[in-house]
Amino acid sequence: MGERKFISGNDAFAEGIRLAKPNVISAYPITPQTIVVERLSEMVEDRSLKSEFIHVESEHSAMSAAIGAASVGARTFTATSSQGLLYMAECLPYAAGGRFPIVMMNANRSTALPWNIYGDQRDSLSQLDSGWIQMYVEDAQESLDMALMSYYIAEHTDVMVPVMVNLDGFVLTHTYEAVDIPTQSQADEFLPTYVTDNKMDLDNPVNMGFSVGPADNEEFHLLHHKAMLRVKDVVKEADERFKQIFGRSHGTMTQGYRIEDAEYILITLGSITGIAREVVDELRDRGVKVGVLKIRFVRPFPHEEIAALVKGAKAIGTLEKDISFGYEGTVYTNVNSALIRNGVLVPSYNFIGGLGGRDISYEDIKECFGTLIKGNEEKEVWIGLGVVDDVR
């Protein structure tokens, strides 16, 4: 048996990475992610983790170092947030296109301007087309478990694609919760030693990181796309294996709560899911058939799963901490596409809130459900707005 500790989401994620035993950690601090690489540096120093810890000079260098380590077959980890993620954005398609199964933790934080260190999800959602798997976690326990499970998914021979695990900045990264930490023997049973042919080898030389012209370039991207689509089956396999060994399950690409007979469903991402469940329980006690559907993976996007789960609803809403300026929330765009692709005609609403770390309260979520129940001509609803002066 392992042990139970009262730790933050950042600490929990670091514990999960320790159990995964990466060979190389490339680290650069940025709020609110810094605690993760600090804890890992302490683990390397006290020898509870045998790993090469590289303190680089920037986020761009952190990803570059991770790519270099992965190219020789090393299990690799790095972490970032916000502007740091944007600074390493040039490197993200290199890692994905090279099919290097790097795991990166991103502490979701607003992007400038205005300058802000608090949490929304505009940083990671801006990188959906970089070719990385993207998952979003709800609490500290899921943070630890997904740190470990990410390597299983990324390194699977059917996948070989890097993973970005997103934790809501401060709300999750700095909040303390009781977390069950597995033993190293349990972790070793779950996660096999990383072995790959996708690496530089003096005995068996290969061409890596090469240029491809118009005649063949599209085929490489199609192979990458097909690998991403196979992630859905691998996630299911990983969750079943995880449950057998650790006795816990976090669902597959999505996780529903009281949605079997729900007439009104709120779709969520990340840490806001917990309070949404509490609202659902209150409304259920009053006889209102509501439910919550948490999206765990945004890439690949579980369009068939979402459409199947909400097809019986009278209305659905997508609650997200993002806006694609000039249109709508990015998650809402993906949800609506999922409905249309699968022939599900359900009225849908876009609830936008939490930008720059603004609180989304219990009452705010009740109002979201109220909008779904009453109907509203405006399909886009901004939560908790103050006075808005139009500045030109």
Residues 151 and 272 in one domain: no
Average pLDDT over residues 1-6: 90
The pairs formed by 72-75 with CB atoms below 8 angstroms and a separation of 24 or more are 72/199, 72/200, 73/194, 73/195, 73/196, 73/198, 73/199, 73/200, 73/201, 74/22, 74/23, 74/24, 74/194, 75/20, 75/21, 75/22, 75/23, 75/24, 75/151, 75/155, 75/194
Confirm if 261 and 289 have CB atoms less than 8 A apart: yes
pLDDT at 203 over 70: yes
Euclidean distance between CA atoms 392 and 389, whole angstroms:
10
Burial label for 196, CB within 10 Å (0-12, 13-18, 19+), is: middle
If one counts every other C-beta atom within 10 angstroms of the C-beta of residue 213, the result is 6
pLDDT > 90? residue 391: no
Which structure tokens are listed for 81?
Answer: 């947030």
Residues 225 and 286 in one domain: no
Q: Which of 201, 223, 246 is the endpoint of a domain?
A: 246
Q: How far is CA 23 from CA 3, 86, 193, 258, in A?
A: 24, 25, 11, 42
Residue range of the domain that includes 177: 3-246
pLDDT band at 388 (very low <50, low <70, confident <90, very high): low
Partners of 254 in the β-ladder? 295
Both structure tokens of 208: 């890596």
Residue 1: predicted pLDDT: 67
Are 224 and 294 members of one domain? Answer: no
Name the residue among 320, 341, 290, 335 with its Cα closest to residue 120. 320
Average pLDDT rounded to a whole number, residues 304-315:
97
Q: Are 5 and 77 in contact (CB under 8 A)?
A: no
Pair (210, 279) in one structural domain: no
Q: What is the pLDDT of residues 232-247, one digit of tens each?
A: 999 999 999 999 999 9
Do 284 and 230 reside in the same domain of the chain? no
Asked which of 246, 268, 295 is the last residue of a domain, the reply is: 246
Separation CA 291–CA 310 (nearest Å): 10
Q: What is the CATH number of the domain that holds 326?
A: 3.40.50.920
What per-residue confidence (pLDDT) applies to 387?
58
Q: 335 — phi, psi (to 5°)?
A: -65, -45
- pLDDT recorded at residue 206: 87
**Which tokens go with 63?**
């990803």
> Same domain, yes or no, for 35 and 151?
yes
Cα-atom radius of gyration of the chain, to the nearest Å? 21
**Tally of domains within the chain:** 2
User: In the prediction, which pLDDT does 379 show?
Assistant: 94
Read off the pLDDT of residues 331-387 as tens digits, 9 standing for 90 and up: 999 999 999 999 999 999 999 999 999 999 999 999 999 999 999 888 999 998 875
Averaged confidence pLDDT in the chain: 96
Please state, in angstroms and rounded to a whole number, the distance separating the CA atoms of residues 84 and 193: 30
141 & 159 share domain: yes
Residue 131 is encoded by which pair of tokens? 């070719």
**Same-domain status, 299 and 174:** no
- Residue 378 pLDDT: 87
Per-residue pLDDT reduced to its tens digit, 57-76 = 999 999 999 999 999 999 99
Q: How confident is the model at residue 392 (pLDDT cuts 50, 70, 90)?
A: low
216 CA to centre of own chain: 31
Q: What's the rounded mean pLDDT across residues 149-168?
A: 98
Q: Which residues pair with 295 in a beta bridge?
A: 254
> Are 167 and 61 found together in one domain?
yes
pLDDT of residue 2: 85
pLDDT in tens, 163-199: 999 999 999 999 999 999 999 999 999 999 999 999 9
Whether residues 204 and 341 fall in one domain: no
Q: Which of 219, 246, 273 is the last residue of a domain?
A: 246
Phi/psi of residue 16, each to 5°? -65, -40
As to burial, measured by CB atoms within 10 angstroms (0-12 exposed, 13-18 middle, 19+ buried), residue 191 is buried
pLDDT at position 210: 87
- Per-residue pLDDT averaged across 199-204, rounded? 91
Which among 328, 311, 312, 329 is positioned nearest to 320, based on CA atoms? 329
Greatest distance between any 2 Cα atoms in the chain: 69
Q: For residues 194 and 155, what is the distance between their CA atoms, to the nearest angstrom?
A: 7
CATH code assigned at 88: 3.40.50.970
pLDDT value for 390: 59
Q: Which residues contact 82 (CB under 8 A, 6 or more apart)?
A: 30, 107, 108, 109, 110, 111, 117, 123, 169
Kindly report, residue by residue over 107-144, the tens digit of the pLDDT: 999 999 999 999 999 999 999 999 999 999 999 999 99
312 and 205, same structural domain? no
Based on the fold, state whether residues 168 and 289 are members of the same structural domain.
no
How sure is the predictor about 265, in pLDDT bands with cuts at 50, 70 and 90?
very high
> What DSSP string describes 40-99?
HHHHHHTTSS--EEEE-SSHHHHHHHHHHHHTTT--EEEEE-HHHHHHTTTTHHHHHHTT
